[in-house]
Copies of this chain bind each other. A is one copy, B any other.
Amino acid sequence: MAEPLNLVLFSGTDDKLQAAAVLTAGAAALGKPVNIFLQYWALDAFRADRITKDHGVSPEAGEAGEAAMRHQGKTHWSELLRQAKELGEVHVYACADSMEMFEITKDDLDPMVDGIWGVASFFMEAEGPVTFI
C-alpha cells in the first residue's frame, strides 16, 4: 500500500489551507491515504458556519500576493478537500483538545470532519511521519 500522507493542520489562513488541499488532492490522486488532524486555527476554519468565509492569508503575502491568490479563481480549498475525499482515502479528524479550547462540538463542524480524536489516537492511526502545516 502507498505510504500515507499525515497532515497536522494548525494554520487557518486561506493560503496555507489551499496549499494543504492541493497536497491532499495530489496524494489522493496517486492512491496515497491521507490523514488530516485539525488543530487550533485550522480547526476554527472548519466550522460549518464559516468554512467558505475569508480566513485571511499569511502576513508575508502582502496586498499584491493576496490579490494574485484571490484572482486565480481556483476551486476553494474546502471543495478541493471534499473532492479528494470522494476520490481517495482521505480522513479528517478534529483534535479533542482544540475542540475544548473553542468550546465547540462535532455539530459545529463541516460534515467532512469524520470524527474527534486525541493526539495519541492520531499517531496510532496515522502511522509514520507527520507533515505540519
Contacts and interface: CB of A to CB of B under 8 A. Distances in A.
Interface of A: 3, 5, 8, 10-13, 15-16, 19, 22-23, 25-27, 29-30, 32, 39-41, 44, 55-56, 58-61, 65, 68-69, 72, 74, 97, 100-103, 118-120, 122-124, 127-133
Nearest to A56: B60
Nearest to A118: B26
B101 A22 contact: no
A124 to B, nearest CB: 7
A111 B75 CA distance: 31
B132 A97 contact: no
Given A15-B41, A59-B59, A72-B100, 15 more contacts: A5-B130, A8-B23, A8-B131, A10-B16, A10-B133, A13-B60, A19-B39, A23-B132, A25-B119, A26-B118, A30-B123, A30-B124, A68-B101, A128-B129, A131-B132
A-B CB proximity, top 4 nearest: A26-B119, A129-B129, A26-B120, A72-B101
